Structure formats: structure tokens, C-alpha cells
Amino acid sequence: MPQRCSTRHERDLRKLGFAAIAGVDEAGRGCLFGPVYAAACILDPAKPIRGLDDSKKLDEATREHLQVLIRERAVAWSVAWASSAEIDSINILQASRLAMRRAVENLSVAADYLLVDATTVDLQIPQRSIIHGDALSRSIAAASILAKTARDSRLREYDRQYPAYGFARHKGYGSPEHLSALDRFGPLPDHRFCYAPVRERAQRTLFS
């Protein structure tokens, strides 16, 4: 039977004496365009938030509602990112981990334990990597919602700057609309050139 998103991991850690347990997650690893975002969030057990879950399972209106509650009720939260240039330089996995580290370092309350979705953070803080953590831990779920909504907001800004690419609709993922725009107009500076669909179209534009 599938496990539900809960505070089990956080409760177990508090019994061991940890008090500032931060969930950490990223958003946008699979996109062809723009920064990868990450968030860290220390929830307040005295101020529970109903409905926290993996951001991918929630519709946009629910995510936007929850991100307001998270920012209001969390002990501390932080959002950070790594640029498309950094992704091209060090690869998407390491850029995601860099964004996560920045998010944790920017918390207004220092975390004493990290719950991380499916990877680790390069910091000397005790931590646990949880596969599908955004669907199992409410702290990670909260981080996933903050990262996703912050990145979506950034992509809406890009959409106003480059309306022909449709970023507000596909959020930088490799949708048919996005690939068609790449074919017609070529890549932008903030596309991820290490990704094959972008690299191939950049080469095509260069030699056409």
C-alpha cells in the first residue's frame, strides 16, 4: 500500500533531539530552459498546513495557495537557484545540488538536519536522502511547492520577455510548442545548451 505524505520522518528526528529539520527539494531539472530552482523549508509543528504533498500532484491553484501558507507559517524558508550557464558548466545534477546548498545556507534559522529528495547536499549537516521524498515527507513537499511556484513565476516573467516561446504554458519543458519555437526562432541565451534538443537546434541554426 502506498505511503502517504506525513511528518513521520520529522517526528522521529525530533525524538532524537533535532529541532530545525529542513526539507529540501528542487524544481525544473528536466526543463530545456532557465534556471533550476531549489527550496529549503523548516516547518513549525505547532502550525500544521493541511494538504502538503508532492508539488507535481497538485494543480497550480492549490500550489499557489499552499505556498502562501508555507511562507506564513514555516519557522524558516528559502528559495535559490542555479543558472542555465551553471547547468551547462557543471551538469544538471550538480547544479541542482548547488541550488539546494544555496537554499539551505540562506535559511534565516540554521538547520540542524536535512531531509532531501533523492540526493544529498554538500554541507556538513546531518541529512537523509529519501527516494520520492516529496511524496513522503511534508517538509520536503513544502520545499517542492516553494521551488515549483518560484520557478513558475520566473517563467511567466520570461514569457513576457519572449512571448513567441510560450514559457508561461510549458514552463520550459520540451513540449511540442516549445520544440516548434526552437525550430522557428532558435535557442535563447538562457536555454540549456547541454541538453540535446537545444544543442541540436543551436547547431542547425549555426550551420543553416
Burial (CB < 10 A; 0-12, 13-18, 19+), residue 84, is buried
Considering the entire predicted model, what is its pTM?
0.96
Min mean pLDDT across 14-18, 61-65, 177-181, 200-204 is at 200-204
Residue among 104, 68, 64, 101 at smallest CA distance from 86: 101
pLDDT band at 3 (very low <50, low <70, confident <90, very high): confident
* Complete domains list, the chain, with CATH: 8-159 (3.30.420.10)
